[in-house]
Amino acid sequence: MAILFSNATILPMTADEGSPKTFTGFVGVAGSRIALVTESASEADAFRAAHPDARIIDCTGRLLMPGLVNTHCHAAMTLQRSYADDIALMEWLHDYIWPFEARQTADDVALGMTLGVVEMLLGGVTSFVDMYYHENRCVEVAERLGIRAMLGCNYFDSNVEEVLPEVGQAVELAACCDRVRIALAPHSPYTVSPENLRRGKETAERYGLHLMTHIAETQDEVRIVREKYGMTPVEHLDALGMLDARTIGAHCIHLTDSDIATLAARGVAVSHNPQSNMKISSGVAPVERLRAAGALVTIGTDGTCSNNDLDMFEEVRTAAFLQKSATGDPVALPAYEALKLATVNGARALGYAEGELGVVREGALADLIVVDLQKPHLQPVHDLVSNIVYCGKASDVDTVMVDGRIVVENRRVAGVDLPALYAAVAAAVKRITAK
């Protein structure tokens, strides 16, 4: 069924510098694509005439914009939300997170993924990049809930022989859904040997997949990699041939000028996770230096036990504020540029062509969100983009469309019984933590 969003304030994320960022008008969707973007009422009437059964959604007082793209998370870790807080990273991983994960089943991972996807959809996230275990099981979750996903099969040296054989199965399962893609996800250059990093890259190339990994997240990681290989994490990965335009590097905090130049030259997508980095005291990623070098910078939430939510509105705001504070420059990462990191840039990181995703443009995939502007914290409107970036909240999202299908309406997720989901999550956590 075709859908026409009428009387909307539209933020297409396509404006040239100096041009108006928003306008009032109409957006028509036919199938999975945007078929009409216009200010003209007569063109909207023509769309209605061409699609007599089209559903009309009145967006008076609301903003229509591209859905947000979360380029790094561990969605199933919702089961570990607030499980281990205020602890140093290495202790947090070794004493809490990894033992918890060792007690999880594939069903637990699928359940945690379900809760994570529901949270993201309600917060206006229409695409996400995941990095976890049992991603072959999570294909069904993403398909069922209607979100767009890149699911990274995570491995260490300790489980590589289990994970790599599952990749082909996951690719086969995802082949029936255009919205879901599989990726390889070696954990990091300090937990995966050079041989197994290469094996992951070779597997990714065999199937034509992206590869993602944590890069230079902490000073400890940089020290370990230098001691083992005599190089920075970026230099080490580059020497192994791991870095190219199909690589997503999470965090990228402790970088030299040479590292930054390499990431930019190789076309690596950097996923900036400001709130997680702040909470674990990992440091501040040099986002402005990366952008100045021409690197592709995006935004991710990381997992819910190091954040502790999947709220991309908060993440965009924090990214902008943190760069201003870290650089001492109040004009660093302005609001519109910060929003591009979570829309246009995120779409590029997933491998979509320019103009195909992350924008409101005719011919683009119809991944759209409607934001209710009739909120005290969004009034008055001197600058709508500033309001969205500096004042907007996940709870302002009213309607979410992915691939031309409405998956959230009036803040209700299609096909999800929330009380039953919460009860299942509570039971799973009680069983896991009781062992």
Q: What tens digit of pLDDT does each residue of 59-95 get?
A: 999 999 999 999 999 999 999 999 999 988 788 888 9
pLDDT at 179: 97
Scanning 27-123, the segments in alpha helix (DSSP H) are 41-50, 89-91, 98-102, 106-122
- Tell whether residue 302 is among the known ligand binding residues: yes
Cis peptide before 12 (omega within 30 of 0): no
pLDDT at residue 89, rounded to an integer: 77
Which ranges in 158-293 belong to alpha helices (H)? 160-174, 194-207, 219-229, 233-239, 257-266, 274-279, 287-292
Q: Rounded to an integer, what distance in angstroms lies between the CA atom of residue 175 and that of residue 155?
A: 22
108 is in an annotated binding site: no
Distance set, CA 52 to CA 11, 44, 45, 48, 116 (Å): 27, 12, 10, 6, 37
- What is the average pLDDT across 228-252? 98
* Mean pLDDT, rounded, for 373-378: 98
What's the maximum distance between 2 C-alpha atoms anywhere in the chain? Answer: 68
CB 316 within 8 A of CB 339: yes
Contact present, 360 and 65 (Cβ < 8 Å): yes
CB 24 within 8 A of CB 8: yes
Q: How far is CA 117 from CA 126, 143, 346, in A?
A: 9, 11, 17
Distances in Å between the Cα of 105 and the Cα atoms of 79, 110, 200, 246 are 12, 9, 24, 30
Look up residue 94 and give its DSSP letter.
I
Under the banding of pLDDT at 50, 70 and 90, the label for residue 363 is very high
pLDDT digits (tens, 9 = 90+) for 270-308: 999 999 999 999 999 999 999 999 999 999 999 999 999
Provide DSSP, 96-144.
IIHHHHHT--HHHHHHHHHHHHHHHHHTTEEEEEEEES-HHHHHHHHHH
Q: Is the pLDDT of residue 435 over 70?
A: no
74 is annotated as contributing to ligand binding:
yes
Could you tell me which residues come within 8 angstroms of residue 148 by beta carbon, excluding any fewer than 6 positions away? 126, 127, 128, 142, 179, 180, 350, 357, 367, 402, 403
Q: What is the pLDDT of residues 30-57, one digit of tens each?
A: 999 999 999 999 999 999 999 999 999 9
How far apart CA 249 and CA 152 sit, in angstroms, is 12
217 annotated as a binding-site residue: yes
Report the chain's mean pLDDT, rounded to a whole number.
97
CA–CA distance, 130 with 50 (Å, rounded to integer): 39
Give the pLDDT mean for 1-20.
Answer: 95
Residue with tokens 């990726």: 183
Query: Cα-flanking dihedrals φ and ψ of residue 56, to 5°?
Result: -105, 125
Rounded Cα gap, residues 33 and 10, in angstroms: 17
Bridge partners for 30 per DSSP: 33
Do 145 and 114 form a contact (C-beta atoms < 8 A)? yes
For residues 217 and 284, is the Cβ–Cβ distance under 8 A?
Answer: no
CA dist., res. 186 & res. 211, Å (int)? 8
